[in-house]
Amino acid sequence: MLPSTSGGEVVNPPEIHDQIERVTSSHAFRGSPSLCKLLSYLAAHALEHPGVSVKEYQVATEVFGRPAEFDPKEDSTVRVQAGRLRSKLAEYYSAEGADDTLIVDLPKGVYALEFHSRSATKPEQRRAVEVRSNSGLSEAVRPSSQWNTLSLALLVALAVSLGAAGYFFLASRNHQAAGSKPAAPEPLRTFWAAVLTSPRDPWVVFSNAAFVGRPDSGMRYLDSTKDRARLVLDHYTGVGEVLGIHDLDVALASLNRSARVKRGFLFTLDDARNNDLIFVGAPSENLTLLDIPSTREFAFRRLKQEPRSGNLEVVNLHPAAGEASEFLATPSNEPLTEDYSIIALVPGIDSAHSELILAGTTTIGTQAAVEFVTTPNHVQELLSRLGAKTPDQVKPFESVIRVKVSKGVPVESTIVAFRRL
C-alpha cells in the first residue's frame, strides 16, 4: 500500500524521497540536523506503514537516543521537536517551497506524516470559489463576443501548455520511479569526491570498546593491567555511532556510493591498506586508530584527575594565538550540555587513499561530527576554510568543533580550531 494525498492521489516513494530531500536541504532547515533526522525518520515510516502513527517512545529512543526507560510524562523532547518541525515545515512552504507540488504535513496529536497535493483543492474550497465567482457576475458585465473569442484562444493555448506539462511531468515521474535520485548538493559532491578516492566503497569503522562486567550488574571499560583474566564484552557501541552511520549511509547513497561497515574490534590493518576509511568514534574506543596514521594537531587524552577522572578531552598540541590548549566537555557527573569533536581528513597508510576521522569525547559528540560532514552548509564551511571549490583543492586538514547539546541531542556545532596540513 502506497501513501496517498488528502485528495486520494497515490504518491510514489520516489516523489516522497525527492520532496523530503528538497525540504531537508532547504535554507529553512539549515542548521537543524535533529529536525531533518526526525522528518526523514517519519517519512521512512510513512512509506513502510502508510497512515500508521509512530509511538512517542519509538521516536524518543530511535531518533533522539533516549534510554529504554524513557518516560514521555517526564521528558517532553519528542513533543517539543515535533512542534518545531511543524513550524519549520510551515516556514519552508511559505517561502522556498511555495511552488512545490507535494506538501508534507505533520498533524498535531500524531507522529505520522500526511501528504497533500497543492493542485488537489478540497471540494468545500472549490464550491466556495464557485459561489464567489457567480455572485460577482451580473448581466451588465457579461463578456462580449470579442472577449469570448480571446478567451477561447487563451483556453486552447492553456490546454496545449497543460498537455505538454503533463507529458513532461509523467515522463519525469516515470524516470523517478525507475530509480533515479536527485543529485547531492554541490558542497557534498565536492567534499566527498576528495574523501572517496577509490572506486571501492569505503570502510566505515565504528567504535566498540572492550568492557568487563555484565549489563545487569554493572559494566566498565577494560583495564588491561588488571582485567586480563576477565570475560571481555566487545559488542556494545554508543547511540551516536549508530545514528552517525545512518547519516553516512544516507549521504553516501545520494552520491551513488555505499558503505561497508565493520566494528573496530574486528578491523585489521589489511583492511586499511587498499581502502578509503571513515572512522566513527574516538581512539579510546576505536582502538585501530592507535595503529594507523592519525591526527597530529589535535588528540584525545583521558583525564586522571578528579572530578573528571576517566573523561576524555581534546588536546590542542600546537595552540595558535588565542586558542585554548584543551577542550573539555561537560563533566560526566552532570547533564551533558557541551561536547567537543575532532573532524580530520588525513592520508591513509597508502597515501593514494584517504582517512576521515569523526570522533567526539562522548558518543553525542561523535554523532555531531558525522552530522557536520553530511550537512551541506557545514560542509561548505569546511570548503571555505580550505579555500576549495573543486575536489582536487580539498587537502588534508584537522579541526575541532564545539557541540551544544540539549536533552541528549546535538543542536548546534561550530568550528573552534582548524588546521590545513
Q: Is there a contact between 323 and 402 (Cβ–Cβ < 8 Å)?
A: no
Res 152 pLDDT > 90? no
Q: What is the mean pLDDT of residues 28-51?
A: 87
Which has the minimum average pLDDT: 90-99, 121-130, 320-329? 121-130
Tell me the pLDDT band of 204, cut-offs 50, 70 and 90. Answer: very high
- Provide, rounded to the nearest whole percent, the portion of the chain with pLDDT above 90: 33
Segment 79-84 shows an average pLDDT of: 88
Q: How high does pLDDT run on average in the chain?
A: 79
Q: What is the pLDDT of residue 224?
A: 66
Is residue 238 very low, low, confident or very high in pLDDT (cuts 50, 70, 90)? Answer: confident
Q: Is the pLDDT of residue 27 over 90?
A: no
Cell of 248: 553516512
By C-alpha distance, which of 196, 279, 284 is closest to 244? 279
Residue 278, CA distances (Å) to 181, 261, 317, 395 in order: 24, 9, 23, 16
Closest CA to 200 of 349, 347, 346, 354: 354
Q: For residue 106, is pLDDT > 80?
A: yes
Of residues 262 and 358, the one with the higher pLDDT is 358
Predicted confidence at residue 119, as pLDDT, reads 63
> The whole model's pTM is what?
0.58
Backbone phi, psi, residue 2, to 5°: -100, 150
H helices of 297-375, in order, are: 363-374
